[in-house]
Structure 1
Amino acid sequence: MKNTTLALLVAPLISLNALAAGYTGPGSQQINTVSAALEASDESAVVLQGRIVKRIKDEKYDFTDATGTIRVEIDDEDWPAATIDENTQVRLTGEVDRDLLGREIDVDYVEVINP
């Protein structure tokens, strides 16, 4: 019984690490800048580091890094407990959402980066 309980407690941590890491070898497409995300295909995985500079409406925000600005969608349940403002450095993990109007990032995970 103890082994089953331990396995159930550890499994989500292992799967979260697997999602964050992923394959990075030949043939993988690593997108880690706004400029690369603006050129990426639909559903490409991204990890961006920068700042959320403006709330547009509901769950839509403008995110910026040294290479540009892109719209991001962050569901209310995906925000961390920390307070974030336009000066806070964050790391966003998600995927490119491409439609007729352009591209935005559908964010799955928001992490505050300690300066």
Structure 2
Amino acid sequence: MRKLTIAIFVALLSLPAFAETGEGFKGDETPPPPHKQDSGYKGMEDTHNITISHLKELREGAWVTLKGNIVKKIADDHYQFRDKTGTIDIKLAKDTWNGEEVTPNDLVTISGKVGKDLQSVNVEHFRKE
């Protein structure tokens, strides 16, 4: 009886090791075409309508909030992000996902600092709409 109890206890403790986290980018869906993207205003606190096309007008390190879709994973923490006006590279660390699972069809809001090249964003806040 004692061996059975220990075996059940060990089996229950090992279950989380086999579980898939379910967070991060799932790239198996095709993103919507750019002309079909709709930002869908939902009462964001940030009243500035920044788009990717406006990034080159900003300075390095400027804080931006963008709405769009993560369309492709490029490298470990690097993804391609697209809104109605264009595409940029973003750096989105694993701890920033907040346990969310995202596909190319999901509308997301990202906030972060503009990179040195003025064509990338280092994401610090992420939210799935």
Q: Distance in 2 between matches of 1:87 and 1:21?
A: 23
Partner of 1:68: 86
Partner of 1:43: 61
What are the Cα deviations for residues 25-49 of structure 1, in whole angstroms up to 9, with x where unaligned? xxxxx46211112332100110000
TM-score between the two structures when normalised by the length of structure 2: 0.60
Q: Distance in 2 between matches of 1:67 and 1:46?
A: 15
Q: Is there any run of 5+ residues in structure 1 with no aligned partner, and where?
A: 1-19, 25-29
What are the Cα deviations for residues 29-76 of structure 1, in whole angstroms up to 9, with x where unaligned? x46211112332100110000000000001000000001000000011
Code of the residue aligned with 1:105 in structure 2: it is: V
With a CA cutoff of 8 Å and minimum separation of 6, indicate the structure with the bigger relative contact order.
2
Q: Distance in 2 between matches of 1:58 and 1:31?
A: 29
Moved over 4 A (4+): none
Percent identity, aligned pairs only, is 30
Which is strand-richer, 1 or 2?
Answer: 1
Q: Distance in 1 between matches of 2:57 and 2:88?
A: 11
| Aligned residue among 96, 110, 114 for 2:114 | 96
| Aligned residue among 66, 86, 97 for 2:104 | 86
The size of the alignment, in residue pairs, is 86
